[in-house]
Amino acid sequence: MTGRKKDQEPAQAIRKELVSCAAKAKAKILQRFFKTAPGEYAEGDKFIGVKVPDTRKIAREHLDLKNKDLLILLRSAVHEERLLALLIFISRFEKAGEKEKTGIYRLYLRNTRFVNNWDLVDLSAPQIVGAYLADKDKKPLYVLARSKSLWERRIAMVATFNFIKEGNFKETLSLAEMLLADNHDLIHKAVGWMLREVGKRGGQEKLEQFLNYYTPQMPRTTLRYAIERFSRKKKSHYLAIPRVRVTNTTA
């Protein structure tokens, strides 16, 4: 047995467990839902058709997996394997001391190219990036927000969900301003979602101040997400504001 094959044994065993829960019909549905066709945002992403509860169950049974094995799964072409790796990293991060948290955070940022679909970002960005930076300098988020990578920009925005839950809206509003001119729908949705959460979690006044100033520059999708919880009258007010679209060359 070669050393390389032996190193992959734990990951291979988990792959077999995932395959045992897979369904071709489910895989076809997921391939369409997550836009994996040529030219779509997740082109080439491969699903084998495992339900998320099954993936979570398998992850819980392998929380002691070594980082080298987790990285094999995180760097896999199979979506469910990447999801499982992230679930384990999240669980480990929540229980870790500061040194281990730093290691997981840095490892995550070195592998963002594998956190490459919106469900993977939305699951992990608040729980790892946001949680780690909660009491630290937020500069890394602004670096991510300027990235050419769609997924890094979404990580930056969604990571602020962690801060929003604690009543801290500063970074959410600053990054939302930065990303208003982004031309990708998944960023429009992420920005609108986080703005909506600001209003939902005690920042309604700050949200309306933001909207009063930036609505003319705001993509319609972002605006609709942001005002989802508003009264019909207030929604109509913001939707009636004329738009002046500014385009970003980032994406």
Determine whether 158 is exposed, middle or buried from the number of CB atoms within 10 Å of its CB (0-12, 13-18, 19+): buried
Query: What is the spatial distance between Cα 54 and Cα 192, in angstroms, rounded to a whole number?
Result: 31
Residue 159 is predicted with a pLDDT of 98
Q: Spell out the domains of the chain, with CATH numbers in brackets.
A: 1-109 (1.25.10.90), 137-251 (1.25.40.290)
User: Over the chain, what is the mean pLDDT?
Assistant: 94
Residue percentage of the chain with pLDDT more than 90 = 93
Cα torsion 38, 42, 48, 50: sign: negative
Closest Cα to residue 116, out of 142, 71, 83, 89? 83
Give yes or no for residue 111 having a pLDDT over 80.
yes
In the prediction, which pLDDT does 244 show? 82
Structure tokens at 46: 């491969």
The pTM of this model reads 0.93
- C-alpha distances out from residue 145 to 32, 42, 139, 221, Å: 27, 19, 10, 19
Q: Torsion-angle region of residue 50: left (phi > 0), alpha (psi -120 to 50) or beta?
A: beta
